A and B are shown apart, each in its own frame.
Chain A
Amino acid sequence: MRTAFITGPAALRERMVAKAQVDLSVPESSMPPYMESFLAHLRVLIGVPFDYMVPDSRLLPDESIRFFYLDRSWTDRLVDGAVAVGKSGTREQAHHQAQAPNLQSQLDLTERTIRNIQTGKQLPTNSGPAGIITGFLLRSATVVGWPSMDVRAFSQIVPPSPGNVNDPGAAEWAANATAVQLPTLRLERLSPSVLLALFDGIPQLVWCEEPHHGIQFGVTNSGEAGIFYLDRHEASGELEPGSQSVQVPVRAANHRVIAIQQLRNQLNALHDPNLVPQTGSAALAIEMLQLPWRQRFQGAGSDRHPGSGGFVAKYSVARVIANPTLQQTVRELF
């Protein structure tokens, strides 16, 4: 008996390897924008239920932070599964088989743009195959209580003390820090108390900083009931070196109510040239702001990251008071 010209499996194999497909360089065969963005969102785990990420709640107990590497094979399978929708025959399989390398390299680029699109920023210019993605999960009361904290990751350890903002070294420090900062791919709250962060690269240092819009107003307690002190802050928000603190006046009727007007008059009467002229609420705010806390997590990729922290020694408050252009922008907005 004559042998068959071709067998079924062989025909399938031929079809699977034959590259009678068009690559993504052809505009008509590239991914529709919605599909591309959906798959790129999957790459950074958007939409993935929490149970899939943390299969047991004891892996992320209360008041804990867990650093991790992202398993790229896992996210690739996620994308494969999404593309498998509507894949009913060998034709679709052959198509996917041929397109897969292009699809992967395209998504490697697109996944880095998601946060920029979300935040409305300019798209990044880096290209090339996707690198390592790392990140952390933070479950803490700080996520609830201090929404929108600043989270940054650095590929090198940045020294903790930036120095005075007005020092010449400070600008250099800031430039160095920006140069080694890793792009943030995702920073989102998964639930009121769980924060997920993804970075493009392996960080040596991660810091979480108290949100600036939430910096509190505070006083220093003298230890004696009803007597509080206030440190003198310069115009940039820094502590005036070597200055005496100011006693805070309180109301006679209630010793825990600060006599704001009197305090302002006292600050004005100091005639301290380093202080801000007391022209309004912004100037008073500079005197009463407390320093935000910046928690640093650093380690050399070992399985424990020693946590240490420090106050942002010199956070900078640029003072813009009675600025007519602000009024202008407000007027344009409304």
Chain B
Amino acid sequence: MTAPPPKGQMYLFNSATPPLDDGSYRLTCSTAITGPINPPAFTKQNYFDIVGPRFSVPQSMVAGTFPPTNSHGAFQDSLPHIVLSRRTLPWERKLDPEGKIPPPAHNPGDAPVPTDPVPWVALLLFEEGEYTWYPNIPLDNVVPADVFSRLGSPASIQCDAVEAPLPLVQSILPSLEELQLLAHVRWVNVDDRELNTAGGDGYFSVVVSNRLPSPSAQCRAVLVSLEERSDLVQSNPPPVASQGPPIFEHPVSRPQAARISAGESFIAPGSTVFTLSQAPAHRFPPRGPIVIGFPPVQKVRLVALYSWKFTCEGPGTFRDLMQSLDDAMFGNVQNPGHPPLSDTGHLQISLDDRQGAVEQVWYRGPLVPWQLTRDNLGPYHSADQARRVTPETGAEDVSYAAAFELGRLLAASDPRLAQALMTWRRESYKQAARVDTISAVSARIPLNLPATLAEKLHCPIPPVASVSVTSAVIESGPIIADAHGLGKVVGAAGLNAANLASAWQISSAQAQNLLGADPGSLGAPVTAPPETTRGDTTLGTVAADTAGLTRLSAARTQAVKNAAVTLENS
């Protein structure tokens, strides 16, 4: 059963017990190894405590109370209850671990005896004047000495206590079986709830009181601890009041009715037995010495784990309150003109402007009674950008400027956000710089990059660029350099046959002859001599080729000389 209840439903459980009750435990660990070698048995003992709320229940564990704390309302027909967000709390301790309370009597025909554990808490309802409240008193002043010793005589415990006369406590305290019946667990759907730290999983334990508050009474509901209070908790509930006039299921003739009233018993048709006994005649006690004053009433104190007050008067149920709500769109005021809202929902407020002068401005919060168009002029970079002047009044509208400043203040108050903003910008700048680099390179070298920006950015540029450069060099055929400057020589005016022919009014053949060259001897591409194929050489054969080395050496010397001459001439 792991699926939570569907919306609008809840599951009820009799109880939810923890695997271990609160208390001190001893953990014994021992080895039992049998085999060819029998090592000595090893035993280790350790102690641990399971500690839960015992003498007070913190507010954080209380998910709700009914009637609400300090509320006024018509609660006289409802039983007070307390909702605890810890579902096992009512069953975490034992009310009577030593079994001092005898099991309740069970008559044939009664409902089966509940098998669930008995909770150690009960919700008691006291009306004003019935109880005395003792906040924060020592525990040994609250419980009797024997109970205190059975509790383990905990030292220096302070707790709240409620004190009431013994007959009253006996008349309202649930019996053993009633305690079981007055606590249960609910599992509800929490999808459409406000956020709450308590009861996030939807499980709650509920402890109900058995007493209805009296009309127009001030009441205090007290969640009391009954741990070891076998002196108070009874196994059987006190007698039940007679139930008013009996309802006859069969017509009864008048004489029979008369006999009933006379106090006899008879068998009605249908075998329903009614036995009415006459109330004993009221007798005055024999006269004796008149006692002045009242005998002292024995009082008992109980440990109060949690308590709240409410008053039972007037309408105050959920229904009454919801029905009397003033419902309207935001901006409707009960007394028109107070506060003076404009028809656009703006409120006039006074503001200290930059010169320190008080100025009347308009303000409207984020909650408006109409649907508004979203401003698409953003983003805004400063609050001043968002200030507006209303043409009708000439006053400023600072609504959006206020929102801007508020956002800035909220963000500035959070150092982690400032860090995140810086990270965001830094990473963006890095990537933007890469985009710039890539576009600059792409303008000069056609790079073969992926189409999408993200892949482009994650592509390593240098290898791609070098591949592009190399393939450009290989694939583009034309000569890229004129090593001997022949191009310039051919370009000179005096060496161009066509120019000579037009300048001297001679034929082009004459001009060619004048220049003393065959047509096409200048500027013609030089075909490289074919490579001579050689056999594989080794370093040894190269070193042995003395003639070749001498030629190389001479060529080097000539090259150095040429370089020196070029440097002197330049």
Name the A residues within 8 Å of B457 (CB-CB). 22, 26, 28
Name the B residues within 8 Å of A150 (CB-CB). 192-193
Instruction: Tell me if B417 counts as interface (CB < 8 A to partner A).
Output: yes
In chain B, residues 304-335, which have Cβ atoms closer than 8 Å to a Cβ of chain A?
316-319, 321-335
Could you tell me the distance between the alpha carbons of A76 and B335 in the complex, rounded to whole angstroms?
32
Name the B residues within 8 Å of A53 (CB-CB). 365-367
* Interface membership of chain A positions 240-261, coded 1 if the CB is closer than 8 angstroms to chain B and 0 otherwise: 0000000101111111111111
Could you tell me the distance between the alpha carbons of A103 and B425 in the complex, rounded to whole angstroms?
13
Name the B residues within 8 Å of A227 (CB-CB). 244
Number of A-B contacts defined by CB within 8 Å: 515
Name the B residues within 8 Å of A87 (CB-CB). 381
Shortest CB–CB separation between residue A287 and chain B, in angstroms? 11
* Interface range for B: 35 or more
A100-B378, A219-B77, A255-B241 known; A329+B1 contact, CB < 8 A: yes
A95-B428, A269-B109 known; A56+B339 contact, CB < 8 A: yes
Q: Which of B170-178, B258-266, B518-526, B527-535 contacts A (4 or more CB under 8 A)?
A: B170-178
* Interface membership of chain A positions 64-80, coded 1 if the CB is closer than 8 angstroms to chain B and 0 otherwise: 11111111111111111
Name the A residues within 8 Å of B187 (CB-CB). 320
Name the A residues within 8 Å of B371 (CB-CB). 69, 132, 202
A23-B453, A261-B237, A279-B14 known; A77+B368 contact, CB < 8 A: no
A59-B333, A65-B326, A309-B323 known; A82+B13 contact, CB < 8 A: no
Name the A residues within 8 Å of B418 (CB-CB). 85-86
Contact of B328 among A69, A84, A303 (CB under 8 A): A303
Could you tell me the distance between the alpha carbons of A279 and B414 in the complex, rounded to whole angstroms?
56
Name the A residues within 8 Å of B71 (CB-CB). 141, 144-145
- Most chain A CB within a 10 A radius of its CB, from B10, B104, B369, B402: B10
Name the A residues within 8 Å of B210 (CB-CB). 257-258, 260
Shortest CB–CB separation between residue B458 and chain A, in angstroms? 8
In chain B, residues 441-465, which have Cβ atoms closer than 8 Å to a Cβ of chain A?
452-454, 457
Shortest CB–CB separation between residue A229 and chain B, in angstroms? 10
Could you tell me the distance between the alpha carbons of A226 and B365 in the complex, rounded to whole angstroms?
54
A216 pairs with B81, CB closer than 8 A: yes
A25-B454, A81-B411 known; A65+B325 contact, CB < 8 A: yes
Contact of A280 among B171, B180, B412, B453 (CB under 8 A): B180
B116 pairs with A260, CB closer than 8 A: no
A214 pairs with B79, CB closer than 8 A: no
A318 pairs with B10, CB closer than 8 A: yes
Shortest CB–CB separation between residue A24 and chain B, in angstroms? 9
Shortest CB–CB separation between residue B200 and chain A, in angstroms? 8
Name the A residues within 8 Å of B347 (CB-CB). 55-56
Task: Identify the closest chain A residue to B63 (Cβ).
Answer: A213
In chain B, residues 233-267, which have Cβ atoms closer than 8 Å to a Cβ of chain A?
237-244
A22 pairs with B184, CB closer than 8 A: no
Contact of B411 among A64, A85, A195, A305 (CB under 8 A): A85
Shortest CB–CB separation between residue B77 and chain A, in angstroms? 5
* Interface membership of chain B positions 396-436, coded 1 if the CB is closer than 8 angstroms to chain A and 0 otherwise: 00011111111111111010111011111101111110011
In chain B, residues 1-52, which have Cβ atoms closer than 8 Å to a Cβ of chain A?
1-2, 5-20
Instruction: Tell me if B568 counts as interface (CB < 8 A to partner A).
Output: no
List 20 A-B residue pairs with CB atoms under 8 Å apart, sorted by A's residue number.
A20-B435, A34-B417, A55-B363, A59-B339, A70-B367, A78-B410, A85-B421, A95-B428, A103-B379, A121-B191, A145-B69, A146-B64, A148-B63, A212-B186, A217-B208, A221-B76, A249-B240, A251-B171, A252-B241, A319-B12
